[in-house]
């Protein structure tokens, strides 16, 4: 089934008696087509939206952020992305312009007055110029230099009034501004966004302002100093100080001229520039040109300076790494095991075991005896008690056994 065309949509309105006659097409854009129709005695503009598959403006996700519908079931279907949800989102996108135009009536924004939204077609007043013809776009007209400032102030006032309604156009450019008989008129609101619910509202507002400012500043460079007005308007909106009567602060002064420009400028009351005294003329007279000396003359006049002889720097030998003591955490001494020969006669550092040698490393910290046999290897047995000295006599019982040994025997019993 083929999608409905422009003629089919307008035929539906003719069949239902909404309009009486189709007068012709005015302009076709990237997402809609504007036609001139007659309804009774009034001539209206009928905006027929293109289907999403045929229009060139498809990346509308960032514009729909923050938009909600009243029906929660429809909102869940739109969030899910099914067939019913896609159709509902398409109808909500088409009806967004009609809702915005009804909201902007008597708000200070010069926009087309809506008549009705019927079967996906928006009927609104036709914007006319001084000659009673459809108003041209701002892009198609070259303004005089004395008219640019008035158009700029008018459009900035409309942007402020639009932002006071918590709305941002989102796609404002010289192509969406008509020079009507009443003044510049803003059109094309399907992508309008909420300034309070869209996270990129500031980006869209500053982009709209930059598009209008750059276009008008190309006609009148005096408007270049007003490029910061958009930022001042948004900051006032964030502070909740923005009203329809808000006026941006005066632009900052121009930067001072550079030094070379200041040196060549002549003051109006400078007497030296207009003096006729011979002393002044001699002081400001150009010097006679002198022959440029050759390279040999320059060297004779000022011989080159001798280069400084710097003594060669001796290379610094790297410091050998410090060997970590092996048993320092046991004895607190810097004791290193001596190397011992392996089975082949090669010297190996202490603590390493040769493949062909049956000897094992010593477990004593200060034991440096090389190649000790298996029988002489220290064991984990408790060492024998030292012989008692005369200075510390042992306590012996009547039976001749030490007292401590008798106590241990009693405990075992």
pLDDT tens, 7-22? 668 888 999 999 999 9
What SS3 state is found at 22?
strand
Question: What is the DSSP code string of 83-118?
Answer: HHHHHHHHHHHHHHHHHHHHHTTTTT---PPEEEEE
Question: Helix-strand-coil percent breakdown of the chain, rounded to 5?
Answer: 35, 15, 55
pLDDT averaged over every residue in the chain: 75
Residue 38: closest CA among 25, 15, 19, 12: 19
Q: What is the mean pLDDT of residues 390-402?
A: 55
Q: 246: pLDDT confidence band, cut at 50, 70 and 90?
A: very high
> Which of 5-19, 184-198, 279-293 shows the lowest per-residue confidence on average (mean pLDDT)?
279-293
**pLDDT at position 401, please?**
58
**pLDDT at position 412, please?**
72
Say how far apart CA 112 and CA 105 lie, in whole Å: 9
> 46 near 123, Cβ under 8 Å?
yes
Q: What is the mean pLDDT of residues 262-291?
A: 50
Question: What is the DSSP code string of 153-219?
Answer: HHHHHHHHHHHHTTEE-SS-SGGGEEE-SSSEEE---TT-EETTT-TTHHHHHHHHHHHHHHHHHTT
Q: What is the mean pLDDT of residues 200-227?
A: 93
**Longest Cα separation, the chain:** 143
pLDDT in tens, 325-337: 555 555 555 455 5
Range from 26-30, 123-127, 308-312, 405-409 that averages highest in pLDDT? 123-127
Say how far apart CA 214 and CA 309 lie, in whole Å: 62
Q: Is residue 167 predicted with pLDDT exceeding 50?
A: yes
Share of residues in the chain with pLDDT > 70 (%): 61
**pLDDT at position 411, please?**
74
179: left (phi over 0), alpha (psi -120 to 50) or beta: beta
Pick the more confident residue, 45 or 322: 45
pLDDT in tens, 366-392: 555 555 555 555 555 555 555 555 555
Q: What is the mean pLDDT of residues 192-210?
A: 92
Say how far apart CA 49 and CA 190 lie, in whole Å: 10
Q: 351: pLDDT confidence band, cut at 50, 70 and 90?
A: very low
CATH class of this structure's domain 138-238: mainly alpha
Q: 269: pLDDT confidence band, cut at 50, 70 and 90?
A: low
Question: For the chain, how many residues are written?
Answer: 413
Copy the structure tokens of residue 160.
Answer: 């402020």
Say how far apart CA 402 and CA 406 lie, in whole Å: 7
Q: 177: pLDDT confidence band, cut at 50, 70 and 90?
A: very high
Listed in order, strand segments (DSSP E) in 215-360 are: 340-341, 347-348
Collect all residues with Cβ–Cβ distance below 8 Å to 40 and sequence separation of at least 6. 20
Q: Is residue 284 predicted with pLDDT exceeding 90?
A: no
**pLDDT at position 267, please?**
52
Say how far apart CA 37 and CA 95 lie, in whole Å: 20
**pLDDT at position 273, please?**
47
**pLDDT at position 1, please?**
44
> Which of 64-73, 133-142, 247-256 shows the lowest per-residue confidence on average (mean pLDDT)?
64-73
**pLDDT at position 306, please?**
67
Q: Is residue 354 predicted with pLDDT exceeding 50?
A: no
Q: Is residue 50 predicted with pLDDT exceeding 50?
A: yes
Pick the more confident residue, 275 or 63: 63
How many CA atoms are closer than 13 Å to the CA of 280, on its beta-carbon side? 8
Locus of tokens 């209206």: 44
Pick the more confident residue, 355 or 29: 29
Domain 6-125 of CATH type 1.10.357.10: no
**pLDDT at position 321, please?**
67
Other beta carbons within 10 Å of 26:
14
Residue limits of CATH 3.30.200.20 in the chain: 6-125
> Which of 31-40, 74-83, 181-190 shows the lowest per-residue confidence on average (mean pLDDT)?
74-83
pLDDT in tens, 98-136: 899 999 988 889 999 999 999 889 999 999 999 989 999
Which secondary structure element, helix H or strand E, spans residue 38, and what is its range?
strand 32-39
**pLDDT at position 73, please?**
74
Collect all residues with Cβ–Cβ distance below 8 Å to 278 and sequence separation of at least 6. none
Strands 167-168, 184-186: parallel, antiparallel or unpaired by DSSP?
A: unpaired
**pLDDT at position 338, please?**
58
Alpha-carbon distances of 51 from 30, 74, 89, 353, rounded to whole Å: 11, 20, 12, 85
Residue limits of CATH 1.10.510.10 in the chain: 138-238
> 43 near 125, Cβ under 8 Å?
no
Name the CA radius of gyration of the chain, rounded. Answer: 49
Say how far apart CA 393 and CA 398 lie, in whole Å: 15
Share of residues in the chain with pLDDT > 90 (%): 35
Pick the more confident residue, 338 or 354: 338
């Amino acid at each position: 089934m083929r999608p409905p065309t422009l003629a089919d949509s307008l035929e539906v309105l003719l069949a239902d008696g909404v309009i009486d006659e189709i007068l012709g097409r005015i302009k076709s854009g990237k997402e809609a087509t504007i036609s001139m129709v007659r309804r009774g005695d009034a001539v209206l503009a009928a905006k027929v939206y293109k289907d999403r598959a045929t229009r060139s403006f498809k990346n509308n996700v960032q514009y729909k952020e923050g938009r909600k519908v009243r029906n929660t079931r429809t909102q869940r279907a739109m969030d899910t992305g099914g067939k019913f949800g896609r159709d509902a989102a398409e109808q909500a996108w088409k009806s967004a312009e009609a809702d915005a135009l009804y909201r902007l009536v008597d708000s200070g924004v010069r926009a087309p007055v809506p008549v009705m939204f019927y079967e996906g077609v928006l009927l609104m007043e036709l914007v006319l110029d001084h000659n009673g013809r459809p108003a041209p776009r701002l892009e198609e007209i070259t303004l005089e230099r004395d008219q640019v400032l008035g158009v700029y102030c008018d459009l900035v006032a409309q942007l402020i009034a639009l932002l006071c309604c918590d709305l941002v156009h989102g796609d404002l450019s010289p192509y969406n501004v008509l020079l009507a008989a009443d003044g510049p008129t803003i059109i094309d609101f399907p992508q309008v966004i909420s300034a309070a619910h869209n996270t990129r509202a500031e980006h869209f507002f500053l982009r709209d302002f930059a598009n209008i400012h750059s276009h008008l500043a190309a006609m009148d460079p005096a408007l270049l100093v007003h490029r910061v007005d958009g930022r001042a308007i948004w900051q006032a909106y964030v502070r909740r100080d923005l009203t329809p009567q808000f006026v941006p602060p005066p632009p900052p002064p121009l930067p001072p001229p550079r030094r070379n420009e200041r040196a060549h400028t002549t003051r109006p009351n400078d007497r030296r520039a207009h003096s006729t005294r011979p002393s002044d003329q001699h002081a400001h007279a150009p010097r006679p040109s002198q022959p440029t000396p050759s390279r040999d003359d320059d060297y004779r006049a000022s011989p080159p300076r001798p280069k400084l002889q710097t003594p060669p720097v001796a290379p610094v030998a790297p410091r050998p790494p410090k060997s970590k003591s092996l048993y320092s955490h046991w004895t607190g001494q810097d004791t290193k095991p001596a190397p011992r020969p392996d089975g082949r006669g090669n010297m190996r550092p202490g603590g390493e075991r040769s493949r062909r040698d049956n000897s094992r490393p010593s477990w004593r910290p200060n034991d440096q005896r090389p190649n000790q046999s298996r029988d002489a290897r220290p064991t984990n047995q408790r060492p024998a008690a030292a012989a008692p000295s005369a200075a510390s006599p042992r306590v012996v019982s009547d039976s001749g056994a030490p007292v401590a040994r008798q106590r241990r025997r009693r405990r075992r019993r």
